Structure formats: C-alpha cells, structure tokens
Amino acid sequence: MLSFISRRLAIAVPTLLVVIAGSFFLMRAAPGGPFDADAQLEPEVIENLRAAYDLDKPVMEQFLLYMARLLRGDFGPSITYTDYTVTELLAIGLPVSVKLGLTATAVALLFGCLMGIFAALYRNRWIDYVTMSIAMTGFAVPAFVVAPVLTLVFGLYLKLLPISGWNDGALQNMVLPVIALALPQIAILSRLTRGSMLEVMRQNYIRTARAKGLPEYKVVAGHALKAVSLPLVSYLGPAIAGIMTGSVIIEQIFGLPGMGRYFIQGALSRDYPLVMGTVVVYATAIILLNLLADVIYGYLDPRVRRE
Amino acid sequence: MGFLTQRRDRQLAAMQAAGRTVGRSLWQDALRRFRSNKAAMGSVFVLAFISLMAIFAPMLSPHTLEDFYWEYILVPPTLENGHWFGTDANGRDMFVRTFYGARVSLTIGVMTTAVALLIGVTWGSVAGYFGGRIDNIMMRIVDVLYALPLLFFIIILVTVFGRNIYLVFIGIGAVEWLTMSRIVRGQTLSVKQKEYVEAARAIGLSNLVIVRRHVVPNIIGPVIVFVTLLIPTTILVESYLSFLGLGVQEPMTSWGTLISQGAASIDTGPWLLVIPGTFLAITLFCFNFIGDGLRDALDPEGR
C-alpha cells in the first residue's frame, strides 16, 4: 500500500509542475499586459510598475523567480488589489470555497447514493421513475440555469432565503448555492449507483446471502454496498473537478467571496500573480483529492495496487 | 438432411430472386434496433426540428438579431405583436435571438467535437496500434492531462488571447479529446489481437489496408456513441464560458450568452432565462437519449 501511494505521489509532483509552468507561460505568451487599461499613466511610470512586478525581465527568469518564491510559500503581490498579497486574498477566498465545495460534495454523495440504491432496489416502481427523472433533469439543466430559477422562486417569490451574499457562511445563505452546485453531481452519482447496484444484486454471492436467510437490509448493507462503492470512488476525481469548476460559476451568481471570483477577476484584469495563485491552489487540491480517491480505490480493490 | 438442405437452398434462391438480402449486417441490425427505440427516435425528430429552426428561423423572421424595438421593451411572450418569444431589455426579438443562439451553440458543439474526435482518434489509434513503449508514453501523457483542471486553462486561454470563437472551438476540443483517445486505444488494442487481423497480415495486406478494412469498422461503434455524448458536453462548456462572459461576444449570441443575460434580469423578465434555458435543456436531453439509444443498438450485449 505504501509503495502504491508513493508511486502515485511520484506522478503528482511533476503533474503540478506542468500545471504551474503551463499556465505561467500561457499567460506571458499573450499579447498585452496588466497595465494596458491604465492609459493615462506616463510610460516611465508603467516601466517602473513593470519593474516592480519583475515583468521587465526575460520570461524564463520570471518563471524561476516565481518558482523560488512559491517554494517558500509566497504567492507574490496582487496587481489589481494593490494593498493585498495574493496569499492574503487566498486566505479570504479559500475558506469560502472549501466550505461550499465540501458541503456540496457531502450533499451530492449522500443524496446521489441513497437515491441510486433505492431506485435500483425498487426498479421500475415510482421511486425509480422519480429518481431517474431528477437525474435526467440534473444532467440536462445546467447549474447556471438552476441557480437563477432557485433564487427567483425561493428568494424573490417565496422570500424564504436570501438571494445572494455569504454572511459568514450562515445556513440560509448556503442552502441555494449548495443545491445548485450539488444537483448535477447528484444526477450523475444516482445514475452510477443505480447501474452498479443493479449489476451487483444479480451476483451469486447476493443470492447466497439471501439463501442463508439474511434480511434484505443486511444483504444490501453487508454484502452489496462495498461492491457498489467501487465505480463511485472512481468517479470521485471527475466529481471533485466538476464541483470546483461549478463553484466558479455559483460564486459568481450568488456573489460569494470565494476563490472562483478572484480567479475570474484576476484572469480578466491580467493580474498574473492572482491567477497563478488561484490556479496553483485549484490544481493542488484536484491532484491531492484525485490521489486520495486513488488510495481509497486501492484500499477497496487490492488488484489495482499490484499494477 | 438432404431434404432440409434442398429446402434451405430453395428459400435462399427465392429470397435472392425477390431482391432481399439474406443475412443482415451489424449496421442493419443496429438501425432496426435504434428505430424501435421510441425515446431515441423522438429525440432525432426534435433535434432535427431545432436544427431546421436554427437554420431557417433567423432567415424567415421579419426581425433581425440587432433590430431594436424601443416601443417593445421587455415584452413577455405573446402571439399579438409578432414577438412570439417576447423581447429583451433592449427591445430585441427573442424568437430570432433564441434560434440564432441555437445556430451558434449547435455549431460549436459539432465543431469542437470534430476537433476532439480528430485528436482523440489519431492519438488513441496510434498508441493502440503500435503499442509497447510508444503506447506507454502517449497514455502517460493522457493520464497527466486528465488530472489537470483543464477548464481553468480554457478560461485563461480565452481571457488572455481575446474572446475569439475559433479559439473557443480549439480550446474546448483540445481538452475534450482525452476520453476519446482512451476509448479508441482500448478498442484498437483488443481488435489488433483478433484472428482476422492476424489472417489479414498473413496474406500480406499492408498496415494501412488492415487499419481501414478491419480496425476502423470495428472501433467505430463506441466512437459514435461517445461522439453523441460529447456534443452536449461541449455545448455545455461553451454555455459555461459564455455565461461567464468569456465565450461568444455581442452582437453574436449563443444559448449561454442568452442565459447569462436572462439570469441578470430574472426578476423583470423570467422568460429571457426560461426560453433559452429550456431549449438548451431539450437539446441536451435529446443528445443523451440518442447516445443511449445508439449504445443499446450497437452493443446489445453491453446491457
């Protein structure tokens, strides 16, 4: 198991380097720069500004300087938020996105699995049809349509929940963003679980468990669930990536002060250090969580450890 | 026995005389199964209707994409004043805008899928056919790319290089080919080891002929299924970008752009969100049903 984890880690580090180098050179390769909008500034002032952010040096040297600082945990100063370092901005944004993302993941896993299991157990009954309709809707109606409709119904018509804002993560502010973020994942997870559950319930060992007289809930909980969880764990990686990219749009719609907002604003205003900072954090999170999913998979299915 | 063979021969002769084919090929079988799938066939007709409307509605309507009707600002859908889908906050006709958006969204869906198909099939078949070290290196690259937050790359790409529609094609296509290459590689690997490929090699056919006659026809089924599922994915990614204001730019419009504008005025004109949102959802539904139908039709034992 330990060698399995270390092998995966050995791939994770170069992957992260590829992400950092890729986004760094991609941004520097583009025409224009962060001070294009400041047309009223004197050329000398712009030169000084560029020098202050190391933008006057050759690109390769900039990259090495950036990497050296990154290794010390310093993301550099933000260009648009002149009074903040990127680290400070990330410290504001990250907790918001993490709380939102984790809650949405938990909600998606809980509801997705439960709905899938019950749909499979009561196949072709009303509970199956309801679940599969929700799954189809969740797939076909994207989050950026669901979210405004939710705010319209629950915020403006029924006046039950606030339509935007974070309010330090108060429960009533979390409800709508979490639903909008979790719904597409619930759709996929419930379909996956249902398919996997139908497959597993046909297996011989399930028949054996029934034959020795176990009650149905013990057959499901004790024998079926472990096998059902395998395809779910292998979907965890894409699910996490989906929730992170979804979070960018949900934060925008509900006006939440998370990482996604800084990423979009940074990209639009060419705030290189801010974009790099957010990309590094997103990439690290995705790679680490993928690694975690791999480890869980290896734990559940010993065959993959010996590849 | 002789009697049975005679009867069979006579039947064969009769069928051939009547101009009917005796055996059914895989494709005819698949087509028959697909036709009997009501959800998939219905989806084909709905998609065809939306595509025809996307082509002809903007041509035939008396309104254009950029006609501003100052006397009709934010008019709800109605049959009375000629604005069947209502008008937006600038008094522009939503009927024309919705189907013009359909044009752009569907085109982007098909074009980016074509880009992804081209890269994915080439990459996957080369890796699968040559195998060994080449396969190993090529698939490790796919593994590394798989673990990257690629949508963030597209966002950086379109923000720094300007919001060019072709860049959106290439950006999304360059990201979505990964799964395709994995599918193609797996299929190629398994087909390569079949006896008929060995036989073809034994009678001295060239690599190119083997790939064209034996490999491609046998891997094409899963590829077609994946393509029908990739088109809605790319449409969604484009809508996502346009929603963030990074995709298609005014005066052009796509469903994502329309939904974004609709979401901004949801309290004053809910139809601005609901109409393009519904069309987007119906389209995604249809592609999904067709994809499922094709999978069942081409691979009856896969269920």
Window 44-83 of B: residues touching A by CB (8 A cutoff) are none
Question: Same domain, yes or no, for B10 and B148?
Answer: no
Range of the domain at B63: 42-302
B216 and B289 belong to one structural domain:
yes
What's the pLDDT band for B170 if we cut at 50, 70, 90?
confident
Q: Are residues B298 and B256 in the same domain?
A: yes
Looking at the complex, does the CB of residue B148 fall below 8 Å from at least one CB of chain A?
yes
Q: Are residues B76 and B6 in the same domain?
A: no
Instruction: Search chain B and give the residue with CA nearest A265.
Output: B159
Cβ-nearest to A139 among B155, B267, B288: B288
**Higher pLDDT pick, B43 / A155:** B43
Per-residue pLDDT band at A102 (split at 50, 70, 90) = very high
User: Considering only CB atoms, which chain B residues are within 8 Å of A268?
Assistant: 159
CB < 8 Å to A37, chain B: none
Does the beta-carbon distance from B149 to A244 stay under 8 Å? yes
Q: Which residues of chain A make contact with B267, given a CB cutoff of 8 A? A: 152, 156
Torsion sign (Cα): A146, A152, A154, A160: positive
* Residue of chain A whose Cα is closest to the Cα of B257: A144
Interface test with B, best of A16, A18, A145, A158 (most B CBs within 10 A): A145
Cα distance between residue A181 and residue A184, in whole Å: 7
Q: Amino acid letter at B150?
A: L
Q: Do A145 and B281 touch (CB under 8 A)?
A: yes
The rounded distance, in Å, linking the Cα atoms of B179 and A289 is 20
Looking at the structure, tell me whether residues B55 and B22 fall in a common domain. no
User: Residue A107 corresponds to which tokens in the numbers above?
Assistant: 């909600």
Nearest Cα neighbor of A271 from A84, A22, A12, A68 is A84
Residues A222-278: tens digit of each pLDDT: 888 888 888 888 888 788 888 888 899 999 889 899 998 889 888 888 888 898 999
Measured between CB atoms, does A289 come within 8 Å of chain B?
A: no
- The pLDDT tens digits for B180-238 are 898 888 888 888 888 888 898 899 888 888 877 888 777 888 888 889 889 998 998 88
Q: Does residue A28 register a pLDDT over 90? A: no
Confidence (pLDDT) at B303: 40
Please indicate if any CB of chain B lies within 8 Å of the CB of A267: yes
The reply to whether B258 and B212 lie within a common domain is: yes
CB B144 within 8 A of CB A15: yes
Chain B contact for A249 (CB, 8 A cutoff): yes
The whole-angstrom distance between B149's CA and the closest CA on chain A is 6
| Residue B141 and residue B283 share a domain | yes
Q: Which of B273, B268, B271, B233 has the alpha carbon at shortest distance from B255?
A: B273
What is the per-residue pLDDT for B302?
46
Residue % of chain A over a pLDDT of 90: 23
CATH number at residue A106: 1.10.3720.10
> B131 vs A211, which has greater pLDDT?
A211
A144 → closest Cβ in B155, B240, B288: B240
pLDDT band at B7 (very low <50, low <70, confident <90, very high): low
CB contact under 8 A, A141 and B244: no
Residue of B nearest to A145 (CA): B277
Among A15, A249, A270, whose Cβ lies nearest the Cβ of B240? A249
Q: Is A25 on the interface with B (CB under 8 A)?
A: no
Task: Say if A92 falls within a structural domain.
Answer: yes
- Residue A138, domain member (yes or no): yes
Residue A50 belongs to some domain of the structure: no
Tell whether A21 is within 8 A of chain B (Cβ).
Answer: no
Mean pLDDT of chain A: 86
Assess whether B62 and B91 both reside in one domain: yes
Distance CA A5, CA A290 (A): 12
Does residue A251 lie in a domain region? yes
Query: Which residue among A27, A137, A244 sits closest to B160, beta carbon to beta carbon?
Result: A27
| Rounded distance between C-alpha atoms, residue B153 and residue A190, angstroms | 29
Q: How do residues A121-149 score in pLDDT, each as one tens digit?
A: 998 899 999 998 888 888 888 888 888 88
Same domain, B31 and B73: no
Let me know if residue A155 belongs to a domain: yes
Instruction: Tell me the per-residue pLDDT of A55-64, one tens digit each, with 9 for 90 and over.
Output: 778 888 889 9
Determine contact: B221 vs chain A, CB below 8 A. no
Is residue B39 within 8 angstroms of chain A, CB to CB?
A: no
Q: Does A27 touch chain B (CB under 8 A)?
A: yes
Q: Does residue B209 share a domain with residue B116?
A: yes
Residues B19 and B119 in one domain: no
Residue A139 lies in a domain: yes
Tokens representing B81 are: 């004043």
Q: Does the pLDDT value for residue A19 go beyond 50? A: yes
Q: Is the CB of A14 inside 8 Å of chain B's CB atoms?
A: yes
- What range defines the domain where residue A131 resides? 86-304
The answer to the question of residue A57 being in a domain is: no
Quote the ipTM score: 0.81
Q: Which of B147, B156, B270 sits opposite A286 (nearest CB)?
A: B147
What total of structural domains would you count in chain B? 2
* Tally of structural domains, chain A: 1
pLDDT over 90 percentage in chain B: 17
What pLDDT shows up at residue B11? 63
Give a yes or no: residue A161 inside a domain.
yes
Confidence of residue B10 (pLDDT cuts 50, 70, 90): low
Global pTM reads: 0.82
Can you spell out the DSSP letters for chain B?
A: -HHHHHHHHHHHHHHHHTT--SS--HHHHHHHHHHT-HHHHHHHHHHHHHHHHHHHHHHHSSS-TT---TTSSSPPS-SSSS-TT-B-TT--BHHHHHHHHHHHHHHHHHHHHHHHHHHHHHHHHHHHHH-HHHHHHHHHHHHHHHTS-HHHHHHHHHHHS---HHHHHHHHHHHHHHHHHHHHHHHHHHHHTSHHHHHHHHTT--HHHHIIIIIHHHHHHHHHHHHHHHHHHHHHHHHHHHHTT-SS-TTS--HHHHHHHHHHTTTT-THHHHHHHHHHHHHHHHHHHHHHHHHHHH-GGG-
Regarding whether B298 and B149 lie in a shared domain, the answer is yes
Query: What's the CATH number where B214 sits?
Result: 1.10.3720.10
